Chains A and B, each alone.
Chain A
Amino acid sequence: MLEINKIHIFISNKIRKVKLRYLYLFLTLPAILLIVELLFGKLGVDPMREIEKELGETALKLLIVTLSLSPISKLTSINFIRFRRSIGLMSFFYICLHFLTWLILDMQLRWDEVIISITKKPFILLGMISFILLIPLAITSNNYFMMKLGNAWSKLHRIVYLAIFFAGIHFLMMAKTIELNAVIYFLIILLLLSLRLVKLKKIRGLK
């Protein structure tokens, strides 16, 4: 028991000391890896599609991690929350790259088709809504807006639950058939969202 406590304190101390700029650097690795793979011709016959898909999937994974930090912290009694902003912002960074890849390399700025795609194709519309919902969250993910908005800040940032839900469906609908990893992501998202619902209910119950 004493040993476990020691390990626990050790990890907690280590985590407190991690410099966030190293975390940012670490999270650029998926993008760097993509560039290396591209340069070595490892992305196959249609590199654009691989890049587009990989950027989107990385963004979704990071968003899932962002939302997992609070339940994991509670479960382990180790505070991972200080990583949340960096990972959330890096997720948004990958979403921006994903969107730009789609707009420039995939759609090639054919604006009429871009508009038709967004309005007529449900899976693209959902991705777009998710992206737009996350913009104000990215803008306010800093100390300045946290102070300025006060209580409203945490309310505003609940939008992330809606955004991740749409992103999960966006990923599910992308494939022509049901793909296992998309289903797994979606189940994790549902789990994370249900944990939040339980928490919200408890808070309301206490009031």
Chain B
Amino acid sequence: MKPNNDKITPKHLYMNRRKILKIGLFLSSMIALNKISLIQANEIFDRKINTFEEITNYNNFYEFGVDKTDPAKYAHKLNTSPWTVEIAGMVENPGIYSFDEIYNEMDIEERIYSLRCVEGWSMLIPWNGFQLSNLLNKVGVKDGAKYVGFETLFRPEEMHMQKTKVLQWPYSEGLRIDEAMHPLTLMATGVYGNPLPKQNGAPIRLIVPWKYGFKSIKSIAKITIQKTEPNSSWNIQNQKEYGFYSNVNPNVHHPRWSQASERYIGGEGEGFLGNLFTKRYDTKIFNGYKEVASLYDGMDLAKYY
């Protein structure tokens, strides 16, 4: 899967992408976020946005294999059209919605987010998508709802790793309702203006930029609004290492990886040697998205990791 950059963006725009994305970010920040996050985002912006090729060839999608290159090799087997998303539980309008129905109904915008993996690396990715809160408001969340659960499909014929037991299938994740309603929480349907590639979680996935990447579940088939804390596949696999909250936090140690810093995948330079010398940067609390801090006022973040 070699992307053609010329198809994505006109060449002169592509070459100036950093500057243009800065302007784009400025506008989208003014509209979607508040002024505080603009400063945050600009801080994050002092690094290269990852290329389409990097974003689509370095994925954790265990349904297709445990290596970062497996999803690009095997995700084509997943049949994503037609695609439906079931919205169930404590909502006014539960039902099975087609992906097109949802996509046509929502306003799609670009959001450039840092994706921080629990393994200690990060990427900067220009997503296209809509705020999850807009969708939830459209289907109407009932009073007393506390959590949102997400599930992907169970199709072992297409996702061969589902024949093994490396994780509990189908992959599941969850958020607290206020986390789900936060304006930063995105349902991504594209990257670099293209429909979401299958290895990145086509046709629709979650992006919660202040949490470790595994919370941002891919290829969502079911959303349940509920009272109890939803299942999380990684949490079930290893409770000590993957907490329900899993907010990016340099002060909470992970048993396996240092969370104090992260390597920016893609490196600073160009070409293969540039990629070899990936620079390490200090990890920021909430991945730099400080505006979410108020969601956790009074909570012991070391206890609720």
Interface set of A (CB-CB < 8 Å, partner B): 38-39, 41, 43-48, 51, 105-108, 110, 112-113, 116-117, 120-123, 173, 175-179
Q: How far is the CB of A52 from chain B (nearest CB, A)?
A: 11
Contacting residues, chain A, for B57 (C-beta < 8 A) = 44-45
Interface set of B (CB-CB < 8 Å, partner A): 53-54, 57-58, 62, 66, 68-69, 119, 121, 166-167, 237-238, 253, 255-258, 260-261, 263, 265-266, 271-272, 275-280
A44, B271: Cα distance in complex, Å = 11
Query: Smallest CB-CB separation from A124: which chain B residue?
Result: B256
A47 touches B272 (CB 8 A): yes
B276 touches A44 (CB 8 A): no
Q: How far is the CB of A35 from chain B (nearest CB, A)?
A: 11
B253 touches A116 (CB 8 A): yes
Q: How far is the CB of A6 from chain B (nearest CB, A)?
A: 46
Known: A46-B265, A107-B280. A122 touches B255 (CB 8 A): yes
> What total of A-B pairs shows CB separation below 8 Å?
72
Q: How far is the CB of B268 from chain A (nearest CB, A)?
A: 12
Contacting residues, chain A, for B53 (C-beta < 8 A) = 45
Name, among A45, A105, A117, A176, the residue most crowded by chain B CB atoms within 10 Å (CB to CB): A45
A47 touches B58 (CB 8 A): no
B276 touches A47 (CB 8 A): yes
Contacting residues, chain A, for B69 (C-beta < 8 A) = 44
A38 touches B68 (CB 8 A): no
B257 touches A121 (CB 8 A): yes
Known: A44-B57, A110-B261. A175 touches B66 (CB 8 A): yes
B237 touches A45 (CB 8 A): no
A177, B272: Cα distance in complex, Å = 29
A-B contact pairs, 24 of them (CB 8 A): A38-B276, A44-B58, A44-B69, A45-B265, A45-B266, A45-B275, A46-B68, A46-B278, A48-B263, A48-B277, A107-B280, A108-B279, A110-B260, A113-B258, A113-B260, A116-B253, A120-B255, A121-B256, A121-B258, A175-B66, A176-B119, A177-B166, A177-B167, A179-B66
